[in-house]
Structure 1
């Protein structure tokens, strides 16, 4: 067919066909003159008609109220104000708030002449805001600008804005844009209410210290009026997608609940707000204590009594509206509504706070279908069964299970969970409810629950349902019986296919990538490590890391039982250091290494052995964006002995680290020039500047271990306090071992004799004190009396010899102390005993040669770097060769 006769699509080009067949074209409309347009505009203004060419949508929602419209000039002005404020915030200008009492860095005369540009802009914006509040809040473009300015308002400006919204609060709550403005405004009023409540409790008039206008009501009075306005419209407002979130913030304020965005905003709203720039105050003001997030363990926010009464009336009417389970708008229909379920969770939480939830007829009882009734029925409810698998209603069940008392939780567990834990743990929705239920199980119910889920663990790993595993590990670690925790960890490792000692090396690769051994054996990394033991850094090809697998491994490391510590030790020792460096450079895998280094359940020898493997590779570890954080963590937890080893290994790599984008930050902490010039001064400086970090145990220790830990810590604190009060250095003496009963008895007797000397026999008491003096007494005797006492010399040599024999035995038997510094107090006692004048002469020479930074005694270094765990296995103390260097 010729090209000119082809037709594209169905019917071709109709206009072209009509022209070809000679149809008469339509007549061209005449051009309208300017004076005709002016006449037409005047006629439409007189008649009140809308011009035909207007872009406004004539179809409006009849449920939405009408709000005034903004003029284009006012819109342009607010856009300009918003752009200027964001630009000044990016530049970092202005460092104080208009109401803050913090003095600026400039002089007072300059502050009076020059005012912060941000304050001027905010003042002019608030001046233009008067009379246009409703128009700005209802406009889709300016509503987000008004929200940004609310964060920079002080308490008086917020009260003025709330006062302007009184009377149209219900209309704004139902508006899609005005409701977000109200949420931001009400959430920012929490600090103002806290101030008013504190002033009312102190019998002060809040209006005396609040800002200027006496006719303006307080914030608690304004919000009380808001509660009265919404009471007649409470039921339609609670069912509205926009109004329910405003009602959520009002109830949170009335009952002192947190009002942060993660508690009152939906995910869709949070994602949209994250794209609108910074929504915070343009002034650099530190948040007050009332603005911080409130933890569940801390008391609620302070609320005025008048506002709390109004909130209770709103809460009571909400319970009456939702109390009928058979009604369409009842609590069961609300539980499956994603727009209102957050409000229902808050109402249920208030019920538990007021101790009204676990009563027949409450909203919680209606949702659980009569679980709190006295003639209890053991039949499963269809509504609860559906709610366990529903995306929305399962959140309500989670919140209820987290607050149930142990008696009613056991009743719920017996009816709905016993025998079905494994099946529900693999469900895509019900596994979240099972995770919450596992965290509430007691020691008797946890063992059968583990047996139920064993056949389903492999399916959970393949489907990435790891939250249940993490809950099992954390719950078993919090119990007193450690055998249950060991059984849980071993069960999880067997589910991954790690059973024998030869497979311990695959714990980290398998769990971080969340792959069972059946799949991990097919990877390139397994074949490479299985064929050869020496690989280069370029050959390392780790499988893709998984966030859930890393989180599970972190939970295990934080609560690792001592009996299973050898699994991690052997597994990491068998892996090449190049693979560990590869994990440290991974954003997900490095979290597991960080958890290993900071874990309170990992002993100090294991942590030290792991750190020593990086010697010679620290420059590669620090030369990475992620690996530099692991290097800084290792530096923070290391004692002076390990810090010296790390610094020695990096002396030859200074140029490499200075050229590195990330390594030069780590190089500044090491201070290698001082390390090369004066090593002893460097040790003292590192001991003071970077004290060793200690970690609190997360798992609950046994009763004997905790008692022994408390006694040892208390004794060490008492000794250090006594010595500090006397103004002397900490004695360079090996700490006594609690395993030796004879030494403890001797020390108790000697302490009793020192504390209570005999009044009749002064000579015997003088001999006792001379035979076993403390270190501070020795120093004072040496300074005052140049000639040593013969009896004291003989007794001190005998004490040293007995102590030396005891330490040789404790090196083989003791598992309760660890040396943490190369210059240990123990080393002095293992050296051959010299005469008293020689020791005295040596100490004088050291004091004369010591630099000013080194004036701190090395015993202070030992005191700062005490071992993390007293009950850990010890390693041999470093040798005393550095102390025998020739004198310069």
Structure 2
């Protein structure tokens, strides 16, 4: 009889499963190792020895791209990816800041020791590993991002070394998807280096570097780079990757800072590239060796902080002017050549019309931004006959200089500019032409292409943006004619602009009316008529109708209880409407006052619609009575208003805009609710500004403190409004660029304010001291300013040294001694 089979124990079964699992893991590990060896073997092979790919249909495979860049070594690639992770880790841990840690010395006592910053060592190690692998790392999609990150922390010498390693390969690199971004960043940072070198500050390398004496300067390297690219510039501006590098180089050669912080300014970087850089973290796009305070200070010194972008032009050497002449000569070949988009090469054309190639490039999606930069740089010295702008405008600048009418010989111009106006890729070029054109040229364009055609252009999906730019530059006479033309447009046709969210023309119309202080009543009536708000009862719906971009006929059709979402265009329209001078903005104030508190609360808790209340509380054109009425209407509701992330900001703005009497009323209404305010996640910030405990203990001291704060807030708001008006005037006036014009206007406004302040200073009557100084020939003594009189005296320190008397002051001292 056969022996029965014995059952395995539980431990035996577990052991068997464990051995089977280990065997599977070993097999998977061996497979992964084999695949890794195959990849390494492929990357180590020469490019001309790669196996030829066979197509499925049996035909010969396409040849390997000769401009392709070699791939980096896997170990080097992994190292640089680890470097990027270490940068983020060290920045998150606070390296580089003044940080200390407690350590125990030999005697057993605890002492504070400063934590050593390891980031410079990491940068040095990365640069040593970078040597010899620059091209490979720049051409890889992952390591090129790390290389860009290292660029912001490199000193001038390291940047020169890196750019020198790329010499001779720029044509391949600028056309590469990844390497072109590295060169964009390098060229952008090279502008500051050239500026320092031009001023005589040439960076010296380490003493151990063997090529310190032979390494070219950044100026020489930029000249060499442009010289290498000049022969192929007509085709490079059409390349989707090389075009961005050409744009940056044009700005660097002209001394105009090219900032990645504002990619929309001149279109240096594509939208996709700018979005990618945004997602790389806080350390990307900045010097990660510097802490936040040092970085902000450096940005402010360079004139690239908030409100100071592109404030100054860089100093450039004389060699750049010669190179720019070569660049212009190379790009002039656009009129004698055409670009084959299949191959990217330039081919000769037979008998083109003068400027045909430039006009073709201006309408191209990739080459258009290059032409816009050329127009902007040309405006720095003034448009001239035969220049870039003149060729795009089909000779209009030449006709204006010759005193001819703009309508002479305008067949080609009308056909070309009509297409330029309506094409999505080229309409920004027309906007720049309108913004920078001298007044006679602008008048010719306005009369030929906009007068009598606004009813069609304002409804166009593309042209309405160009019309808005033109409306922002019109004068008072053109404003009156424009208002009459818009009044003649049928109400239903204007209403279609609102239905299709094309509000740019109406917004620009209100901005020009405010700027010129003309036709404000007519413009307000046009807006009311467009939305169908005629009677006084209907005009109370201005805010809900305009905010949601619903005409009255559609607003009445909404279902009961429906709450349409506020639109950004409607919010901007109401903000612009509130900036009209009184009483033309009263209809918006009355509509806000007619809103129930629940609707007003919803208005204050939306990120889009709360901006309307910000303008109401800060605009100088809002009458004080309307401001006071709005703040008083919220008494008893400030606790509810402040208990929200966005509503708390509105409540703080109301308190800041109120006078001392209203501040006291707000504090009185909230004194019994201060415990509830402190418990709120958002309202406790508002309660901190109110200082309710001080109000309860010493009400008069609280009023005095609030009066001082109110005066400081009024001065700050006045300065902001003056700056905004100066920028608006600079944007309306023709200039070399929006940034440069804004800075110039800001400087002019500052000088004007300074002269006004100096005129307001009263000369005090002469006294005995004045007579003593006058007798000594020193002239009348100047009274100290109020700020100097109120400033506390500075305590002397050991560092303060006694300065010797200036030459010519002996008589003054003698006169003082004689009077004692």
Asked if the contact 2:100–2:115 (Cα under 8 Å) also holds between the matched residues in 1, the reply is no
SS in 1 for 2:502: coil
Residue number in structure 2 paired with 1:312: 325
5 Å-filtered alignment, 1:740-759, equals: none
Asked if the contact 2:354–2:391 (Cα under 8 Å) also holds between the matched residues in 1, the reply is no
5 Å-filtered alignment, 1:157-172, equals: 157-172=158-173
Asked if the contact 1:221–1:307 (Cα under 8 Å) also holds between the matched residues in 2, the reply is no
Residue number in structure 2 paired with 1:475: 512
Asked if the contact 2:635–2:666 (Cα under 8 Å) also holds between the matched residues in 1, the reply is yes
2:576 aligned residue (541, 555, 580): 555
Query: For each residue in 1:257-297, what CA deviation from the matched residue of structure 2 results, as whole angstroms up to 9, or x when unmatched?
Result: 23122131111222233333342322322334335179799
Distance apart, 1:105 and its partner CA: 8.2
CA distance in 2, matches of 1:42, 1:351: 53
Query: For each residue in 1:841-880, what CA deviation from the matched residue of structure 2 results, as whole angstroms up to 9, or x when unmatched?
Result: xxxxxxxxxxxxxxxxxxxxxxxxxxxxxxxxxxxxxxxx
5 Å-filtered alignment, 1:711-790, equals: none
User: In the superposition, relative to structure 1, how do residues 45 and 248 fare at CA in structure 2: closer, same or farther (>3 Å)?
Assistant: closer
CA distance in 1, matches of 2:235, 2:447: 39
5 Å-filtered alignment, 1:9-48, equals: none
Distance apart, 1:186 and its partner CA: 1.1
Residue number in structure 1 paired with 2:437: 404
Structure-2-length-normalised TM-score? 0.72
Matched, 1:660 2:680: yes
CA distance in 2, matches of 1:699, 1:275: 35
RMSD: 3.9
Matched, 1:620 2:640: yes
Asked if the contact 1:67–1:134 (Cα under 8 Å) also holds between the matched residues in 2, the reply is yes
SS in 1 for 2:237: helix
Residue number in structure 2 paired with 1:881: none
Distance apart, 1:304 and its partner CA: 2.5
Residue number in structure 1 paired with 2:527: 492
User: In the superposition, relative to structure 1, how do residues 553 and 64 fare at CA in structure 2: closer, same or farther (>3 Å)?
Assistant: farther
SS in 2 for 1:346: helix
Distance apart, 1:298 and its partner CA: 5.3
Residue number in structure 2 paired with 1:348: 375
Distance apart, 1:330 and its partner CA: 1.3
Residue number in structure 1 paired with 2:28: none
2:304 aligned residue (262, 280, 292): 292
SS in 2 for 1:188: helix
CA distance in 2, matches of 1:38, 1:574: 76
CA distance in 2, matches of 1:646, 1:683: 12
User: In the superposition, relative to structure 1, how do residues 492 and 296 fare at CA in structure 2: closer, same or farther (>3 Å)?
Assistant: farther
2:501 aligned residue (455, 461, 464): 464
Asked if the contact 1:628–1:666 (Cα under 8 Å) also holds between the matched residues in 2, the reply is yes
Residue number in structure 2 paired with 1:583: 603
CA distance in 1, matches of 2:558, 2:329: 61
CA distance in 2, matches of 1:241, 1:83: 30
1:377 aligned residue (406, 409, 433): 409
Residue number in structure 1 paired with 2:358: 331
Distance apart, 1:714 and its partner CA: 7.1
Distance apart, 1:209 and its partner CA: 11
5 Å-filtered alignment, 1:601-620, equals: 601-620=621-640
User: In the superposition, relative to structure 1, how do residues 653 and 59 fare at CA in structure 2: closer, same or farther (>3 Å)?
Assistant: farther
CA distance in 1, matches of 2:230, 2:46: 42
Asked if the contact 1:174–1:243 (Cα under 8 Å) also holds between the matched residues in 2, the reply is yes
Distance apart, 1:424 and its partner CA: 0.7
User: In the superposition, relative to structure 1, how do residues 459 and 358 fare at CA in structure 2: closer, same or farther (>3 Å)?
Assistant: farther
Bigger mean CA offset, 444-453 vs 673-682: 444-453
Asked if the contact 1:155–1:192 (Cα under 8 Å) also holds between the matched residues in 2, the reply is yes
CA distance in 2, matches of 1:569, 1:92: 49
CA distance in 2, matches of 1:494, 1:148: 55
Structure-1-length-normalised TM-score? 0.67
User: In the superposition, relative to structure 1, how do residues 370 and 251 fare at CA in structure 2: closer, same or farther (>3 Å)?
Assistant: same
Asked if the contact 2:574–2:588 (Cα under 8 Å) also holds between the matched residues in 1, the reply is no
Asked if the contact 1:64–1:175 (Cα under 8 Å) also holds between the matched residues in 2, the reply is no
Matched, 1:446 2:479: yes
CA distance in 1, matches of 2:240, 2:143: 21
Query: For each residue in 1:2-52, what CA deviation from the matched residue of structure 2 results, as whole angstroms up to 9, or x when unmatched?
Result: xxxxxxxxxxxxxxxxxxxxxxxxxxxxxx9x99x999x999989995579
Residue number in structure 1 paired with 2:452: 419
CA distance in 1, matches of 2:151, 2:46: 40
Distance apart, 1:546 and its partner CA: 0.3
User: In the superposition, relative to structure 1, how do residues 340 and 653 fare at CA in structure 2: closer, same or farther (>3 Å)?
Assistant: same
CA distance in 2, matches of 1:617, 1:67: 66
Asked if the contact 1:191–1:290 (Cα under 8 Å) also holds between the matched residues in 2, the reply is no
User: In the superposition, relative to structure 1, how do residues 61 and 514 fare at CA in structure 2: closer, same or farther (>3 Å)?
Assistant: farther
User: In the superposition, relative to structure 1, how do residues 624 and 47 fare at CA in structure 2: closer, same or farther (>3 Å)?
Assistant: closer
CA distance in 2, matches of 1:396, 1:570: 41
Residue number in structure 2 paired with 1:149: 150
Residue number in structure 2 paired with 1:671: 691
SS in 2 for 1:248: helix
Distance apart, 1:125 and its partner CA: 0.8
2:93 aligned residue (91, 94, 97): 91
Residue number in structure 2 paired with 1:258: 257
Residue number in structure 2 paired with 1:365: 390
2:273 aligned residue (264, 269, 272): 269
CA distance in 2, matches of 1:38, 1:618: 69
Residue number in structure 1 paired with 2:76: 74
Residue number in structure 1 paired with 2:565: 544
Residue number in structure 2 paired with 1:173: 174
Query: For each residue in 1:476-523, what CA deviation from the matched residue of structure 2 results, as whole angstroms up to 9, or x when unmatched?
Result: 2221xx441221122112211222322332121111111111112233
Distance apart, 1:53 and its partner CA: 11
Over alpha carbons, which structure has the higher Rg?
1
Distance apart, 1:223 and its partner CA: 0.9
SS in 1 for 2:650: helix
CA distance in 2, matches of 1:249, 1:623: 48
CA distance in 2, matches of 1:191, 1:47: 38
For structure 2, which runs of at least 5 residues remain unmatched after alignment? 1-30, 55-59, 106-110, 338-351, 729-751, 768-820
User: In the superposition, relative to structure 1, how do residues 179 and 420 fare at CA in structure 2: closer, same or farther (>3 Å)?
Assistant: same
CA distance in 2, matches of 1:583, 1:510: 13
5 Å-filtered alignment, 1:843-858, equals: none
Distance apart, 1:114 and its partner CA: 5.5
CA distance in 2, matches of 1:267, 1:257: 21
CA distance in 2, matches of 1:451, 1:147: 55
Query: For each residue in 1:726-776, what CA deviation from the matched residue of structure 2 results, as whole angstroms up to 9, or x when unmatched?
Result: xxxxxxxxxxxxxxxxxxxxxxxxxxxxxxxxxxxxxxxxxxxxxxxxxxx
User: In the superposition, relative to structure 1, how do residues 63 and 53 fare at CA in structure 2: closer, same or farther (>3 Å)?
Assistant: closer
SS in 2 for 1:686: helix
Residue number in structure 2 paired with 1:101: none
CA distance in 2, matches of 1:328, 1:256: 27
Residue number in structure 2 paired with 1:386: 419
User: In the superposition, relative to structure 1, how do residues 237 and 675 fare at CA in structure 2: closer, same or farther (>3 Å)?
Assistant: same
SS in 1 for 2:537: helix
Distance apart, 1:668 and its partner CA: 1.3
CA distance in 1, matches of 2:278, 2:41: 46
SS in 1 for 2:216: coil
Query: For each residue in 1:570-596, what CA deviation from the matched residue of structure 2 results, as whole angstroms up to 9, or x when unmatched?
Result: 323322233212100111110111111
User: In the superposition, relative to structure 1, how do residues 387 and 162 fare at CA in structure 2: closer, same or farther (>3 Å)?
Assistant: same
CA distance in 2, matches of 1:243, 1:53: 29
CA distance in 1, matches of 2:46, 2:216: 43
CA distance in 2, matches of 1:80, 1:258: 32
CA distance in 2, matches of 1:296, 1:260: 8
User: In the superposition, relative to structure 1, how do residues 401 and 299 fare at CA in structure 2: closer, same or farther (>3 Å)?
Assistant: same
Residue number in structure 2 paired with 1:192: 193
Residue number in structure 1 paired with 2:550: 515
5 Å-filtered alignment, 1:563-602, equals: 563-602=583-622
Residue number in structure 1 paired with 2:202: 206
Distance apart, 1:718 and its partner CA: 5.0
CA distance in 2, matches of 1:513, 1:446: 28
For structure 1, which runs of at least 5 residues remain unmatched after alignment? 1-31, 97-103, 529-540, 702-708, 726-888
